[in-house]
Each structure stands twice: as C-alpha cells, then as structure tokens.
C-alpha cells in the first residue's frame, strides 16, 4: 500500500509562512507584555522630562492684542499720497509665535512689534496691505509664525497742501448783563493745511465757535482753548479727519486754537444836562430844546472802580459848558467830559450838545401846543 506524499502547493506554502510570521509577531507583543508596557510608559516619561529640562526648545503660542504701528506715512506723503480710510479700527492684532520654553509663560503682547508699512503704496485708490510682526528680542521670545488676519484694506487719495486760510471766531450767546468784554485775541490768525487733495482744495475758512454767555468777572482774562473745523466757500462743513493743521509758516501741528478776552464790570452813566450850559440867550430869545448825543456813557473797569458810578444820581460832567450868552440862534458844540482815569474802557469822552434857540414867542407857542 502506497502513502500519499504529494508536496504542498506554492500557495499553501505561502499561507503557512504568513501564519508562522504572524504567530511570531504576536508572541513578540504578548510575551512579557506587562514589562513591555511599563517600559513604554517609562520611555514617555523620560522624554517628557528631557523636553522640560531643555528650555531652549520652542513651543507655539498665540499672542493676543499686539499693538499695530503705521510706519512711513511721511514717505507716502512725499510720494503725493495719503490714506483716507481703513486705519480707523486698526489698533491691535493677534499672532502665533514660536517661543523658547523658558519664556513661554512670560511672552506677552508687549514683547512683539506689529507694523503696517504704507510706503508700499504706489497709487491712489483701494489698496490691500499685510501687517508684519517680529519679536522685540528674538533670543528671548522667538519668531513670529504668522499674523492672524493680516490683510488691511485701505483707501488712498492724492495729497495736497493749502496755505494762509483765515481763522474766523464765530460768536454765540449773549454777554452777561453788567459785563464789558474787550476784543478777542486769538493765538493763530491764519493756518496752513495738508491732507486729501479733494478736501484741501475746498477749504475756505477755519472756524472756531466761541460762547460768550460763559464770560464771568471772576475769570479775567477769559482764556480758552477751543477745537476748530473747516468750511467751504458756501459754508458746508468739511471732513477734517485726515487734515494736518499748522499755524501759518510753522511746522508744529495744532488741534485747538487759544482765545483770550478781558472782561470788566460795566455800567452806563448819564451826562448831567444841568451842567452843560452857561449864560442866557439874547434878549427876546429863549431855549427851545437841548439835545445831547449820546445821553449816557459806558464805563468799564474793576468792580472797585465802577462802584461809585452805580450809586443813585451818579453822572458825568463837562470840563467847560456851552456858553450861550447873547445867542439868538441854534448852538452846536462838542464838549469834553470829566471822565474817571481808572477805567479800562470808556465809550466816549465827548458829547455833542445842540441848543436850539428861538424867539420867545415861538418857544411860548410851542410850549402851549405841547402842554
């Protein structure tokens, strides 16, 4: 009887071989598996310790609130251009940095510098620039990997200048009663402006609004520093946001204009009509009317100087009266008043006196018809 000793086929041999390899691999992983798992855990721990001890190894960190600075604006202006919008909300950005592990916790926004370089702009119109950033000290705070949302959309116009725009003080409110205010002195009479050409070319005046109702005797001289704005020839207010304003012929920009005004106590004092004439008209003639222009004088000065002229019966007198002795016709004469010397303001130191002289019968007839 013969045995069936046929050799296995190549496919069967391959299958047996794979099964043998699988059993060996399984044996590798399952033999002493507890020790092997413990060894793996120990290796991970040792790796973590090494990483922790090597403080030069970098770690990625997100830095929030890095302040953005706009650079080379002067270069852009020298190229005849200016940014008119897009920078309004540009304050801070966030970024990702690769920070050495030793300074990971201390790395903050103040350790990084973000810039928007506008000198890259070459033409007017809509432009898109990218914010760039670096660490203030690369050895300590590493390198910036990326700026998050770096694109900034800008609108650019041509740059223009205009010199000698007049400053107009526009008054409002009423000066409080009993106060005299001198003329207003301003720190700047004319200004030069530069900025978007479309705005600069329209500017006709620089306006400062001044409320006189706030004047007070306790605050003299009255000195205020006020903002200003610009109008075109028709009185329309212009957008001054992007304008640079300097006093005429100067380089330092200003944002306010100083106004100064002296204020004094004020009163009106009548001219004493009884002291204006001397003598009598010619025989057969009489005084028909006496007219004084003005009838009262405004005095302004310190409250102490004004005090005597606030009393009842206070009046001003002429140095010399009008002499009507022997006159038979109307006499008109300018009289100088004996005004006080301690005043800061006197509206007039003279009055015009007109004395109408008529025949007595005409004066009597006029008096009878006007009882």
Q: Report pLDDT digits (tens) over 223-240.
A: 999 999 999 999 999 999
User: pLDDT class for 2, splitting at 50, 70, 90?
Assistant: very low
Beta bridge partners of 61: 97
Of the residues 149, 172, 193, the one at which a domain ends: 149
Determine how many CB atoms are found less than 10 A away from the CB of residue 221.
12
CATH number at residue 123: 2.170.120.30
Indicate whether 167 and 251 sit together in one domain.
yes
Indicate whether 203 and 163 sit together in one domain.
yes
243 falls within a domain: yes
Give the DSSP per-residue string, 202-248: T--EEEEEEEGGG--TTS-SEEEEE--EEE-TT-PBP--TT-EEEET
CA 127 to CA 82: how far, in whole Å?
12
Indicate whether 238 and 273 sit together in one domain.
no
Indicate whether 339 and 278 sit together in one domain.
yes
With beta carbons less than 8 A apart as the criterion, state whether 148 and 92 touch: no
* pLDDT higher at 17 or 217: 217
CA 85 to CA 87: how far, in whole Å?
6
Helix and strand numbers, DSSP H then E, in the chain:
7, 25
Indicate whether 68 and 138 sit together in one domain.
yes
Q: What confidence score (pLDDT) does residue 21 get?
A: 65
Nearest by Cα to 89 from 41, 136, 153: 153
Portion of the chain with pLDDT greater than 90, in percent:
73
> Helix, strand, coil proportions of the chain in percent (round to 5)?
25, 45, 35
CA 81 to CA 371: how far, in whole Å?
83
92 falls within a domain: yes
* pLDDT higher at 25 or 131: 131
Query: Chain-wide mean pLDDT for the chain?
Result: 88
pLDDT at 147 over 80: yes
Indicate whether 250 and 279 sit together in one domain.
no
User: pLDDT class for 211, splitting at 50, 70, 90?
Assistant: very high
Of the residues 239, 261, 283, the one at which a domain ends: 261
5 falls within a domain: no
CA 209 to CA 228: how far, in whole Å?
7
pLDDT at 108 over 60: yes
> In terms of residue numbers, what domain contains 320?
265-369
The 10s digit of each residue's pLDDT in 42-56 is: 666 665 655 555 666
Indicate whether 251 and 279 sit together in one domain.
no
321 falls within a domain: yes
Helix residue ranges per DSSP H, the chain: 10-30, 33-53, 73-78, 138-141, 197-200, 303-306, 360-369
User: pLDDT class for 138, splitting at 50, 70, 90?
Assistant: very high
pLDDT at 325 over 90: yes
| Sign of the torsion angle spanned by Cα atoms 160, 118, 245, 196 | positive
Indicate whether 78 and 141 sit together in one domain.
yes
Q: Into how many domains does the chain fold?
A: 3
The 10s digit of each residue's pLDDT in 166-202 is: 999 999 999 999 899 988 999 999 999 999 999 999 9
| Sign of the torsion angle spanned by Cα atoms 190, 195, 201, 202 | negative
pLDDT at 305 over 80: yes
Residue position matching structure tokens 């203030």: 136
108 falls within a domain: yes
User: pLDDT class for 155, splitting at 50, 70, 90?
Assistant: very high
* Mean pLDDT of the 78-101 span: 93
* pLDDT higher at 362 or 326: 326
Indicate whether 89 and 114 sit together in one domain.
yes
């Amino acid at each position: 009887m013969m045995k069936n000793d046929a050799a296995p086929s190549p496919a069967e041999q391959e299958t047996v071989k794979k099964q043998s390899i699988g059993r060996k691999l399984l044996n590798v992983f399952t033999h002493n598996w507890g020790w092997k798992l413990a060894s793996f855990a120990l290796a991970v721990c040792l790796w973590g310790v090494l990483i922790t001890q090597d403080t030069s190894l970098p770690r990625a960190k997100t830095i929030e609130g890095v302040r953005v600075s706009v650079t080379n604006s002067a270069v852009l202006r020298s190229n005849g251009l200016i940014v008119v919008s897009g920078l309004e909300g540009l304050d801070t950005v966030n970024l990702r940095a690769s920070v050495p592990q030793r300074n990971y916790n201390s790395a903050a926004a103040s350790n990084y510098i973000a810039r928007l370089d506008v000198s890259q702009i070459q033409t007017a119109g809509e432009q898109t620039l990218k914010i760039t950033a670096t660490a203030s000290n690369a050895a300590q705070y590493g390198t910036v990997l990326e700026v998050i949302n770096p694109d900034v959309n800008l609108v650019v116009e041509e740059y223009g200048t205009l010199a000698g725009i007049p400053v107009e003080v526009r008054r409002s409110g009423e000066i409080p009663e009993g106060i005299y205010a001198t003329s207003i002195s301003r720190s700047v009479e004319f200004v030069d402006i530069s900025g978007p050409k479309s705005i600069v070319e329209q500017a006709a005046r620089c306006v400062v609004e001044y409320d006189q109702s706030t004047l007070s005797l306790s605050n003299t001289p009255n000195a205020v520093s006020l903002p200003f704005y610009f109008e075109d020839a028709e009185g329309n207010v212009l957008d001054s946001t992007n304008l640079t304003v300097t006093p005429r012929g100067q380089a330092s920009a200003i944002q306010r204009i100083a106004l100064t005004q002296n204020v004094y106590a004020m009163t009106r004092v009548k001219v004493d009509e009884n002291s204006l004439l001397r003598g009598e008209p010619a025989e057969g003639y009489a005084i028909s009317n006496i007219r004084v222009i003005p009838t009262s004088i405004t005095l302004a000065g310190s409250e102490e100087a004004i005090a005597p002229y606030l009393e009842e019966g206070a009046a001003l007198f002429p140095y010399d009266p009008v002499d009507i002795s022997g006159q038979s016709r109307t006499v008109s004469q300018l009289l100088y008043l004996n005004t006080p010397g301690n005043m800061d303001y006197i509206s007039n130191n003279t009055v015009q006196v007109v004395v109408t002289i008529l025949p007595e019968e005409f004066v009597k007839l006029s008096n009878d018809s006007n009882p």
